[in-house]
Amino acid sequence: MTVPIGIHDIALATGHYAMDLAELARHNGADVNKYYIGLGQTSQTVPAPDEDIVTLAAAAAKQIVARHGVEGIRTILFATESGIDQSKSAAVYVQDLIGLPAASRAVELKQACYGGTSALQLAVGIVARDPEQRVLVIASDIAKYDLDSGGESTQGGAAVAMLVAANPNLAVVDETVGLYTANVQDFWRPNYRSTPLVDGKLSVSAYLEAVEQAWKDYEGRGGRGVSEFAGFCYHQPFTKMAHKAHTRLLELKGIEATAARLHADLSPTTIYNRAIGNSYTASLFVGFTSLLDHSDDLDGRSVALFSYGSGCVAELFSVTMVPGYRAHLRTADNRAAIARREPISYEKYRALRDFTLPEDGSELVVSARSRSPFRLTAISGHSRIYAAAHAQ
C-alpha cells in the first residue's frame, strides 16, 4: 500500500511595514482604483532594514519547529528568486537559526516564482524514498521593482514554510501533474541588477499560455476534471491575474467565466495576497493558506494549484485535504501577522527604499526595527550576520 505524502503543517510570515496603495496613488496622481480594482491589490508589505528573505523564512519555519520539533528533518529546501548569495544557500542560515541538526542537507532552489512548487515536489520524492523522514520546504521572497515603474504597485514580501511528511495532517499531494516549460524572456534579473526587467504584456500572455498548456498535459495524464475541484489556487503576482488565469481555464473547458463563478472559485484564495502583495515563490502558497483559512470545510476534497515562474516553467498539480485538517490550521496567527504590520506613508516607504546594504565590503550595524523573532544585525567581513531577537 502506498503511504500518502503531503503537507503536514504550513506557516506564514510577512514583514514589519505595510503601505496602503492609496499612498502610492497619492504620490503618482493615479486613481487608487487602478490598484484596488484593476490589480486587485490594496496594500503591500515593506520589509524593515533588519529583515530579508532569511529572517522571513526563519520566522515561518520557527512556527513549524515549535509545534513538531526537529526530529526526522534531514532536508531543508529553500526556494527564492531574491537570493542573497550566488554560492551559499539561504537554507544554511535558516538551518542554523532554527536549530536543525547538523546531519541534514540544506539547498536553495531557483526558477522564478515556480521554485516553491519544485521544492514541494522534490520533498515528496525524498519522503517517498524514506517515509520516516520529514522535509522542511520554505518559499521566501521580497518583490522589489524600480521606483515609479509599473511593477512598483505589486511589490510585497512573505515566507511560507511547509513540513512535508508521510500521513500528513493537512493535505496529500496528488501524483498527477501537468507541466509546461518555454524559453520566454518576460521577466528576468541579471546578476548586475537588484531589480528585475519586465515585459508586462508578454508576461501576462506567457502566464495564460502556460495555464492552458499545463492543463492540457495534466488532462492528458488522466487528471481530474474542472468540476471535481473544490478550490483553485493560482500564483498571484497581483490577484486579478488569478481571475485572468481562471477565466482562461474555464473557457478552455467550455464553461462560462461569470463574475459569480470567479468570485466563488477564487475569492478565499486572494484575501492574504491582496494585502501582502507579490511574494514570488511564496505567492501560490500564501493563496493556498488563505483558502484554508477562509473556506468552508474541505475534508476529503481536492484543490487545484497552478504554479508559474517567468522564463517560464509552470505546473498544474492538486492536493486532497485530509479529514480534520482544520484543527491544525494557524488561522489566528496568519491574520495577526498581516494585521500587526505598521502602516507607513509613501515618504517612509521611500526612506526605506533608499536604505541599501553595502556592496563594497563596508562594515554596517543594522538597527533593530522589526518585531521578527530573527534579525539581520550586521554586515561584517562581507558576511551577513543574523541573530535571534532575544540575542540582540
**Which are the catalytic amino acids?**
81, 113, 235
Q: Which three cell numbers stand for residue 132?
A: 520516516
Q: Which residues pair with 154 in a beta bridge?
A: none
Write the single-letter amino acid at 88. Answer: K
Give the total residue count for the chain.
392
Q: Beta-carbon neighbour count of residue 356 at 10 Å?
A: 9
Nearest partner of 245 among 272, 220, 270, judged by Cα: 270
- Give the contacts of 265 (CB within 8 A, at least 6 positions apart): 231, 232, 246
Q: Which three cell numbers stand for residue 179?
A: 507541466
Strands in 263-359 per DSSP E: 302-309, 313-321, 342-343
The percent of the chain in helix, strand and coil, each rounded to the nearest 5, is 40, 25, 35
Contact 275, 43 (CB under 8 A): yes
Q: Which three cell numbers stand for residue 290?
A: 488563505
Q: At what angle do helices 53-68 and 90-97 cross, to 10 degrees?
A: 40
Write the single-letter amino acid at 176. Answer: T
Task: Tell me phi and psi for residue 294, to 5 degrees.
Answer: -125, 10
